Amino acid sequence: MGGKKGLLFDVTLCIGCGACYEACKERNRLPRTVAHFLDDQLSDRTYTVVKKRGGRFIRQLCMHCEVPTCVSVCPVGALEKTATGPVIYHEARCIGCRYCMLACPFDIPKYEWGKVLPRVRKCDLCADRLAAGRPTACAEVCPTGATKFGDRQALIEEARARIRARPQKYVPRIYGLEEVGGTSVLLLSDVPFERLGYRTDLLSEPLPLLTWQVLQKIPDFVVVGSVLLGGIWWITNRRREVQIREREERKRRGASEEVSRDPSASGFVGPSQEEE
């Protein structure tokens, strides 16, 4: 125990049997959605799919990013990256802004569009099973070992070993090692990942840095901005007061001793209407 858990999915071993798909449905008590599992797509009732792409079978599920975009964008902290790896959802917090759906680089979170009070739905890496020391449901049933459960670090070692053992076969890259700062779900393939439909244009640094760089500056901005604006106001206000006083001086010295009218203290139509 202790370390971060994860999954290693080896495209070359997947035979497209749909066991993971079925196990996920069973574990999450999800209803049937299509006649043939290969035609399904991620939805509020399907958290993982198997697809035929680029001459291989591939799996799609939440990647459980190391620095998850969905967690960073949720205004109320409804999504959480747990210490053991799973990114989980606290539905009692969610306000339904759907920013997580917009922001997730893998387009994973789905919404219960058909409900009046909808929730966000996605794979949770079988967090309860992990807590009980068991593998994820999808890994447990996989008959070929294409989906393998384990400690993330050990899985990385294993993936490296597989590539090293058969360099002429594998694409020399572990998908998920660096993508958006790393993910808990790792992929191995013998055909280029873009041919399998996985995004290969992702940044290697975590996306939350992009917004954090800006958000970070807010406290400074507020302090500096208030002081600056206050300063400007102080200067311009001084100047105006001086002007008014000078004008009054002039008036007093001048022939007609006309008392300037009281500036009407009526809220936002403040004083000094009579300038110019």
Partner 1 sequence: MRWSFRRPSFWQLVFIVILGAGLYSTVIRFTRGLGASTALSDAFPWGLWIGFDVLCGVALAAGGFTLSAVVYIFNIERFRPIIRPTILTAFLGYVLVIVALLFDLGRPYRIWHPLVMWNPHSVMFEVAWCVMLYTTVLALEFSPMVFERLRLERPLRILHALTVPLVILGVILSTLHQSSLGSLYLIVPEKLHPLWYSPLLPVFFFISAIALGCAMTIFESFLSYRAFRKRLEIDLLADLGKVTVVALAVYLVLRVQDLARRDVLARALEPTYEGRMFLAETLMGVIGPILLLSIRRIRMDHFGLFVSAVLVVLGFIMNRLNVSITGMEASSGVSYFPSWTELSVTLMIVALGFAFFGLAVKYLPVFPEMERLPAPTLVEPPAVAVLRRPWIGTTPLVLILGGIFFVSAMGSAYSGLQYRERMFAPATSGEESEPEIAEGLERFEVPPDITFPQGEASPGPVTFRHASHLNWERPNCTVCHHEPFRILKASGRGAPSPARDLHDERHCGRCHDGRTSFSVKEDCTACHRP
User: Counting every residue, how long is the chain?
Assistant: 276
Residue whose pair of structure tokens reads 């009281």 in the numeric block? 262
Per partner kind, with CB cut-offs from 5 to 8 A, the member of partner 1, ligand SF4, none near residue 136 is ligand SF4
Rounded to the nearest whole angstrom, what is the least distance from the CB of residue 122 to ligand SF4 in the complex?
A: 6
CA-closest candidate to residue 7, choices 188, 131, 266, 181: 188
Q: Of 88, 81, 87, 84, which Cα lies nearest the Cα of 153?
A: 84
Would you tell me how many other CB atoms lie within 10 Å of the CB of residue 74?
Answer: 23
Q: Pick between residue 153 and residue 194 the one whose CB is nearest to partner 1.
A: 194
Q: Is 11 in the site for ligand SF4 (CB under 6 A)?
A: no
**Contact code string over 136-165 relative to ligand SF4, x by CB under 6 A:** xxx---------------------------
Answer yes or no whether residue 6 interacts with ligand SF4 by CB under 6 A. no
Contact 154, 4 (CB under 8 A): no
Q: What is the largest CA-CA distance in the chain?
A: 106
Q: Choose one: 38-46, 118-126, 153-161, 253-261; the region binding ligand SF4 (CB under 6 A).
A: 118-126
Report the alpha-carbon distance of residue 168 to residue 257 in Å, rounded: 101
Q: Which does 37 bind (CB under 5 to 8 A by kind): partner 1, ligand SF4, none?
A: partner 1
Rounded distance between C-alpha atoms, residue 185 and residue 26, angstroms = 21
Q: How far is the CB of 170 from ligand SF4 (least distance, A)?
A: 23
* For partner 1, the closer CB: 153 or 212: 212
Q: Which stretch binds ligand SF4 (CB under 6 A): 21-29, 170-178, 238-246, 250-258?
A: 21-29
For the segment 84-113, give every residue that binds ligand SF4 (CB under 6 A).
Answer: 87, 94-100, 104, 106, 108-109
Closest to ligand SF4 by CB, 57 vs 106, is: 106
User: In angstroms, what is the minimal distance from the CB of 108 to partner 1?
Assistant: 10
The number of beta carbons lying within 10 Å of the beta carbon of residue 127 is 20
- Name the token pair of 7: 């999954």
What residues from 42 to 81 belong to the interface with ligand SF4 (CB under 6 A)? 47-48, 61-65, 68-70, 73-76, 78-79
Q: Give the one entry of ligand SF4, partner 1, none that residue 55 binds, where binding means its C-beta sits below a cut-off of 5 to 8 angstroms depending on kind.
A: partner 1
Rounded to the nearest whole angstrom, what is the least distance from the CB of residue 18 to partner 1 in the complex? 4
CA distances from 138 to 17, 48, 124, 248 (A): 12, 9, 12, 86
Q: Where are the alpha helices (DSSP H) in the chain?
A: 19-27, 69-73, 99-103, 127-131, 137-141, 152-165, 208-215, 218-253
Decide if 32 contacts 26 (C-beta within 8 A): no
132-140, 191-199, 213-221, 229-237 -> range binding ligand SF4 (CB under 6 A): 132-140
Contact call for residue 189 and ligand SF4 (CB under 6 A): no
Amino acid identity of 223?
V
The contact set with ligand SF4 (CB under 6 A) reads: 23-24, 27-28, 47-48, 61-65, 68-70, 73-76, 78-79, 87, 94-100, 104, 106, 108-109, 120, 122-126, 136-138
